[in-house]
Amino acid sequence: MRVEYEDDRLRISYSPGDTDTAVIAFAGVGLALGGIQLEEFSASLARGGQGGQPATVFVIDKRRSWYNDGIAAPIVECVTVLLERLRARRVIALGNSMGGFGALALGPRFPGCVRVIAFSPQSSVRLDLVPFETRWPEWRAGISQWDLPDAAGLADEVESHLFFGRSDSLDMQHAVRFAAAALPSRHIYRVAGTDHDLARDLKRRGALAPLLEALIWTEKLESEAVARIAARGGSWLARKFGRIRLTPLEANQGPTHI
């Protein structure tokens, strides 16, 4: 892993690829991707069958500010220059939890971004916007400059796929906020039998890699296509995804309908 930029707030590193696709991965509170170490994650992104490895850019918010406190602009500037050097023409942004928020809020700002993938993302962590959110008080209290207060209505110009564990009531309230934005390019999936650790569960079951491969390399994805891909990702993934039919959460569905 090569370090492109680092200070006391931010770390940006990358691994070159051999295609014109780049994946920008935003780290979560644990400074990883759902418990998956960055090097391991990078190795899992190769395109099976046809071959090819995307360039991978890792963005770490060391102070867990949900990419606030003045780091958003430097991230966009630094990563944009890096993508040009890597000759990336097609860009995918992804993240888990806080990283999912970062991917939704910042991903569309990068040239060539066509898709955002977010596992268990928060729509916001600002108290006045999401009074139901009680997690991570030690990190949220330290945010003094809200450059990115709310991601619920962001990423409307790119295709986005948001995944939530249905057993986590707080995450499902964020899912409702995302759905209320009613963005036509947004697809929201609710996975039964798992919670905020959805990405970790998918990895443990051997389902994360095939799902990511499809989400990264398939040119155009609708909800039904993801359902078919999920059905090929292993019996556990097919069973969970089949149970919820992988249709987007509608804007008029409240918490009792999910």
pLDDT band at 142 (very low <50, low <70, confident <90, very high): very high
Q: Higher-confidence residue: 208 or 111?
A: 111
Strand partners, 119: 96, 163
Mean pLDDT calculated for residue range 135-139: 97
State how far the Cα of 148 lies from the Cα of 101, in Å rounded to an integer: 9
pLDDT of residue 201: 86
Highest average pLDDT, of 17-31, 64-78, 153-167, 172-186, comes from 64-78
Label residues 64-78 b or e (16+ Cβ within 10 Å = b).
bbbbbbebbeebeeb
- In the chain, domain spans: 2-257
pLDDT in tens, 164-212: 998 999 999 999 999 999 898 998 988 888 899 998 888 887 778 888 8
What percent of the chain has pLDDT above 90?
61
pLDDT of residue 37: 65
Give the CA distances from residue 215 to residues 35, 45, 98, in Å, rounded to whole numbers and listed in that order: 20, 10, 20
SS3 call for 73: helix
CATH of domain 2-257: 3.40.50.1820
Strand partners, 162: 118, 188
Cα 178 from chain centre: 13
pLDDT band at 219 (very low <50, low <70, confident <90, very high): confident
pLDDT band at 110 (very low <50, low <70, confident <90, very high): very high
State how far the Cα of 40 lies from the Cα of 80, in Å rounded to an integer: 24
Q: Higher-confidence residue: 239 or 102?
A: 102
pLDDT of residue 135: 98
State how far the Cα of 55 lies from the Cα of 247, in Å rounded to an integer: 31
